[in-house]
Chains A and B, each alone.
Chain A
């Protein structure tokens, strides 16, 4: 049955038809406008349709023509009109961002290998990425003459590899694939073995919805100055649009140490510590660093991480020789953090690692064992290692932003720090009724991780939030209590506090380490969610 399009209001059509009939009948009384007649069909049936359509367009415009109307009609507000309105406040509906990262291609030979621009690489889930330029892997250093020539290096298993950069084909956070994700190229070189993500892909942001824009626009309505918490947050969202959360510690706050350097130890103001979350969870970044052999007999090596290598990184996850195909890591003996406040431009006043850890001024000296590599070498010899760190990105961008002469409040001393991390792992058991299908544990783990990573600055993580995250995936199944939560709080001075809880993890205050609920965030990787499934026996039905 033919029916009116949903957006055409039949009542409006009928009203318009009645008006048209009346007008035409008055003007031309000898015309027969009875229903079913030709004139009636032309004038009223078809004639009222454009009126009804214009009425529909007018309705859309009215529902999109002001911030008030948009807020009350978010599902139907026209994005184009919404963009026109919010442009008055210097904002626009975010189109999203494509994630970017590095792909390692593993080859069977070190022959010159070309990857053309826009070659598509796909994950097993169907997420597609394309090479950001045309790259050529070359076997000799002398053949590297442009930035897109990449030196092929030999791996420990006899294969070869080189890296290329790639960008996701679509916007969205789902394209922030983790390190080591397998990727399959659309066109395969003859010596191709495999390809994988060398580090986490990052920077992917979902297209903004109208409701998200309305929440964000309150920042645009503030004055863009470093003068209040909301204004600072607004400026930071402009500098790093993917900023997830922010906590601003200033004068009078218990966590502020930097303004208490006086005999009475009271806050004098002028200093601000800004704790940030720049992504849902930290990223894994692999960089190549030169290690120096410091103890040949014991096989102890040392790496110095400068402030620019991985600004504000949380932890070193692994250290492996370049080209190694082994998993895991060399044993890390020590990780001593320091500060480097050298350089030009404004530098905040930071006195010790408790005040400056997880900022872009952080440095580190890492020592680890590698007796195998040390064999036959002497103290002072160097070798290159792949160092994978866990970090929040963009700390350098934000610190440089607020240090700008025209942005920084002349009264202020601002320090950006990654939120003090509490890394979480979760164990839980699902009990399903006899014969029920297994729940989607992978999706459940991802949902639990997303919930934990979205907890925000509050210092508490409750098991009820984890159970709530599981509920959409439970059909004929329940979460068995207790839910085991393990939290490792990495304080700025390097101490690690372990929480084993079943009900709630609550961060204990440690003001000497600037550690409270207002400076700590919980982070959980889906790989650290362990879900077991048991089935009730039939007698329990």
Chain B
């Protein structure tokens, strides 16, 4: 996983998803945590990886599960657990609906920050998210997702989702 080393003038967030797997780099499971499992060190993140992290957290949070912000998140995991996703069209439909919801929430957050006078760089504004591929296994689902920022920077990441698919 590549991270930018130049944080000058940028706002940073904590890196909590470790071992991002890019397309072509082989499969691994991302894991959440403040510190890297191997090095034991924490890290901060900005730019396209921060955008990917922001999107991933919001996309994979079930709407209503956050008690202090019940509108945060999407219904993708809810749909996945309910068993209604049983084919390509259903997967595409659920993914698109969840991405649209997440994107709307993230753009609203950007608008709020810009109205407050903050400058949000284009590589932290989401333009689109595309489902490149997905693999259903008996343990879960691997989503290959391409995240495109307004700056034109793309990042394709694999999100392994460990849920019991009914």
Contacts and interface: CB of A to CB of B under 8 A. Distances in A.
Contact of B70 (A3, A32, A49): A3
Contacts of A17: 68
Interface in A455-498: none
Interface string B1-45: 000000100111110100000000000000000000000000000
Contact of B67 (A3, A34, A42): A3
A38 B14 contact: yes
A293 to B, nearest CB: 83
A36 interface: yes
Given A35-B72, A36-B57, A36-B58, A2 B67 contact: yes
Interface stretch (B105-113, B138-146, B158-166): B105-113
Contacts of B46: 32
Contacts of B14: 38-39, 42
A348 to B, nearest CB: 69
Given A35-B72, A36-B105, A38-B13, A45 B113 contact: no
B104 to A, nearest CB: 12
Interface of A: 1-4, 10, 13, 17, 29-32, 34-39, 42, 45, 48-49
B61 to A, nearest CB: 9
B65 interface: yes
9 contacts: A4-B67, A36-B54, A36-B58, A36-B72, A36-B105, A37-B54, A38-B16, A38-B53, A45-B68
Contacts of B10: 30
B32 to A, nearest CB: 9
A30 B12 contact: yes
A10 B68 contact: yes
A185 to B, nearest CB: 51
Contacts of B106: 36
A1 B73 CA distance: 12
B66 interface: yes
B100 to A, nearest CB: 16
Contacts of A45: 66, 68-69
B7 A30 contact: yes
Contact of A49 (B68, B72, B113): B68
Contacts of A39: 13-14
Given A36-B57, A37-B13, A38-B53, 15 more contacts: A2-B66, A4-B67, A17-B68, A31-B11, A31-B13, A32-B13, A34-B113, A35-B69, A35-B109, A36-B58, A37-B54, A37-B57, A38-B14, A38-B57, A49-B68
